[in-house]
Amino acid sequence: MRHVVIGAGQVGGQLAELLLGQGHQVVQISRSGGGAPGAERVALDASDAEAMVRATQGADVIYNCVNPPYHRWPIDWPPMHAAMIRAAQESGAGLVILGNLYAYGPVSGPMTEDLPLAATHVKGRVRAEMWEQALAAGIRTTEIRGSDYFGPGSTGEAYLTMQVIRPAAENRPVVVLSDPDVPHSWTYLPDVARALVVAGADERAWGRPWHVPTSGALTFREVAERAALLAGARKPRIVKVPRAVFHAMGWTSPKMKGLRETLYQFEAPFVLDSSDFETTFGLAPTPVDEALVASIAKEPV
């Protein structure tokens, strides 16, 4: 099969490697032209619809693994998403969208795929509209939604890996932006890539969203203390950034300003229910200790 992976970051790179390992033909599209060794790498702007149509000719599945900077979502996502939908329409390929949980908005219990897309904040509405547009486009499509990522291959966007797991394992202070004792679901990066592979290969995935297999919710403190124990480090010192300081950071950092509207995810339990995907496709989340050890090592183990 011919698979087109759009994006070569922390998910797109791992996805391309998995598909190549299964013997598939993989085209990897990114602005820089980078990608997994063995993939046909194409440099283009994902918002260029004509170029996207040309690059996806003959594709069986197209995967949207792009993630623009938070503060640019309302600007960057609409033309890129429209170009991907058009590419799927003209090639006849299925479109697998890497999503997240923003579109649900604040919730009061475990999140399941049948929740309404009730977000009112900007990023949540952008993501909700993307899914609605894909469904209305007359293509085979699915969206694979995970919570905040962690694991090997993480970039600076994976807060848990870079600011909690590795500092705790290295006897450095762990700095958190919210209450360290609120339960939160964390999705392991290799499990995200595996879920995307499954979705692109199974006809049962089309026409609805799915949640990436994700282990039970853990607090910042629980993650930090478990990572330290596994690494043989001392019990970590956890420092919470004062709310006034957090808001002040938004004046100089567009990324921090963008995080303000989703801070609710860390102020109350934020729990992902992935049982539907696990039961349907037989894919379980990686055990927490195994995932933490790989995250500490900085490379897959």
The C-alpha atoms of residue 194 and residue 15 are separated, in whole angstroms, by 7
Angle at 273 between CA 268 and CA 279, to 5 degrees: 170
Q: Which residues contact 143 (CB under 8 A, 6 or more apart)?
A: 96, 97, 98, 99, 131, 134, 209, 210
Can you list the domains of the chain with their CATH numbers? 2-147+186-213 (3.40.50.720)
Which sign, positive or negative, has the C-alpha torsion 135, 139, 140, 145? negative
H helical segments located in 117-233: 122-136, 159, 166-169, 189-201, 220-231
Q: What does the pLDDT look like over 138-164, one tens digit per residue? A: 999 999 999 999 999 887 667 899 999
Indicate the pLDDT class of residue 80, thresholds 50, 70 and 90.
Answer: very high
> Are 115 and 272 contacting, i.e. CB atoms less than 8 angstroms apart?
no
Q: What does the pLDDT look like over 163-196, one tens digit per residue? A: 999 999 999 999 998 899 999 999 999 999 999 9
Q: Residue 58 region, left (φ>0) first, then alpha (ψ -120 to 50), else beta?
A: left
- pTM for this entry: 0.94
What share of the chain in percent tops pLDDT 70?
A: 92
Q: Which amino acid is at 192?
A: V
